[in-house]
């Protein structure tokens, strides 16, 4: 079994998986644990799958240091599904929820939530999204059901660092889809932490939802059973058929993270990778331009333009073409913002990041010379 011919995949999600994980999946595809069947053929009600499920839950708790007063759920519908599930489960007797809108995904979350709860934005969002406004100017309400934020805006490359926003005595709800286990996480003041697995933790189809126990059982009557935290907890995430293959994939990724030294080691590597690329941008005399406030630059999604703040599309197309010729794919920025986006998720190695860095230096030198 070989990984020869594989591309360096900088996709924003679904994203690269560690080669070790893919090779293990290949090895076990026809015969998982000597059972004579693949994981994706097994009954989700079987004892064997139950062992796998509980082990995966335990690994999430161990690696993220999830407190005992939180439940860990494996759900479906992606992070987008949770845009509805959050207000459906947490509204309770509250009239409204507070939302921090710092980019496309938190904006979509607020828009979806309006169907199920009154939404108040703690500040008026301004485009283009390039920063997190000073918290002193935010308008909070301690009667809110929760305060929602997106920990890392994948489209714009904006990340809450180094800490979460102040809660103002209401539960924080964090969408960590694109920086899930990219760094240690502090559950202080949080009520719900959720994310899709397809960026840092596995394959598309699995959504991990970590819920504080005291918030469970407050769901609205219209809440579909598959989105009800109470139903999912009562059934150990087996209310309906779960994404068995996705849970298996995440199990292997979690073991890979553990073998790498856990989240502290992963975070240290992620800082090196992102620092390498941001360093080239900042030392290019404006040839490369990242508009994001340095305090909130994402270590996962490095977004930049080439040829100035507004970008030169001809240069960017040339850069992308050259990247493909050098075995790198999926560096094109999101269609809504353009430019370049290098997603440096956990599975991207420092060596692969250095390939991108080398091309950036070569491209800059070529065009500055000319």
Catalytically annotated residues:
105, 175, 199
For residue 304, the surrounding DSSP H or E stretch is strand 301-306
Q: Cis bond leading into 128, ω under 30°?
A: yes
Distance in angstroms between the alpha carbons of the first and the last residue of the chain: 45
Angle at the Cα of 98 (from 175 to 75), degrees rounded to 5? Answer: 30
For residue 119, the surrounding DSSP H or E stretch is strand 118-121
Output the CA–CA distances (angstroms, integers) from residue 155 to 96, 98, 231, 294, 342, in the order listed.
27, 22, 33, 16, 11
Distance (Å, whole) CA 356 – CA 164: 30
Q: Is 285 helix (H, G, I), strand (E, B) or coil?
A: coil
Q: Write the DSSP string, 155-222.
A: TTTEE--SSPPP-TTS-EEEE-TTTTTSS----TTEEEEEEESTTTTS-TT-EEEEEEGGGTT---TT
Dihedral, 203, 207, 212, 216 alpha carbons, nearest 10: -150
Q: In what order do the strands lie in the sheet with 301-306?
A: 288-289, 301-306, 340-343
Exposed (0-12), middle (13-18) or buried (19+): which is 357, by Cβ within 10 Å? middle
C-beta separation of 316 from 289 below 8 A: no
Distance (Å, whole) CA 135 – CA 151: 15
Q: Which two tokens stand for residue 262?
A: 């856990």
């Amino acid at each position: 079994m070989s990984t020869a011919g594989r591309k360096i995949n900088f996709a924003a999600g679904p994203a690269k998986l560690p080669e070790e994980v893919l090779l293990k999946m290949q090895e076990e595809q026809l015969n998982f644990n000597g059972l004579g069947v693949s994981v994706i053929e097994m009954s989700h009600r079987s004892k064997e799958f139950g062992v796998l499920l509980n082990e995966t839950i335990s690994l999430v708790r161990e690696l993220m240091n999830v407190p005992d007063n939180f439940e860990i759920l494996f759900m479906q519908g992606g992070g987008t599904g949770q845009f509805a599930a959050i207000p459906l489960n947490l509204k309770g007797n509250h009239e409204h929820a507070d939302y921090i809108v710092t980019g496309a995904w938190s904006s979509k979350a607020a828009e979806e939530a309006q169907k199920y709860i009154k939404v108040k934005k703690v500040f008026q969002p301004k485009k283009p999204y390039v920063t997190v406004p000073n918290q002193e100017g935010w308008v909070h309400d301690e009667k809110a059901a929760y305060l929602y934020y997106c920990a890392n805006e994948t489209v714009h490359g904006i990340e809450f660092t180094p800490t979460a926003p102040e809660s103002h005595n209401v539960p924080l709800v964090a969408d960590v889809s694109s920086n899930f286990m990219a760094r240690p996480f502090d559950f202080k003041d949080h009520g719900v932490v959720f994310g899709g697995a397809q960026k840092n933790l596995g394959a598309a189809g699995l959504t991990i939802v970590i819920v504080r126990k005291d918030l469970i059982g407050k769901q609205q009557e219209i809440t579909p059973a598959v989105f009800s935290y109470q139903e999912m907890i009562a059934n150990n995430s087996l209310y309906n058929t779960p994404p068995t293959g996705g849970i298996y994939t995440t199990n292997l990724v979690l073991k890979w993270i553990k073998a790498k030294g856990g989240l502290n080691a992963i975070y240290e590597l992620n800082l090196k990778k992102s620092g390498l690329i941001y360093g080239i941008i900042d030392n290019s005399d404006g040839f490369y331009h990242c508009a994001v406030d340095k305090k909130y630059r994402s270590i996962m999604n490095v977004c930049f333009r080439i040829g100035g703040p507004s970008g030169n599309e001809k240069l960017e197309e040339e850069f992308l073409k050259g990247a493909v010729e050098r075995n790198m794919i999926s560096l094109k920025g999101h269609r809504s913002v353009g430019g370049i986006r290098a997603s440096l998720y956990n599975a991207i190695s420092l060596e692969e990041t250095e390939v991108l860095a080398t091309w950036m230096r070569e491209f800059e030198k070529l065009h500055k010379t000319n």
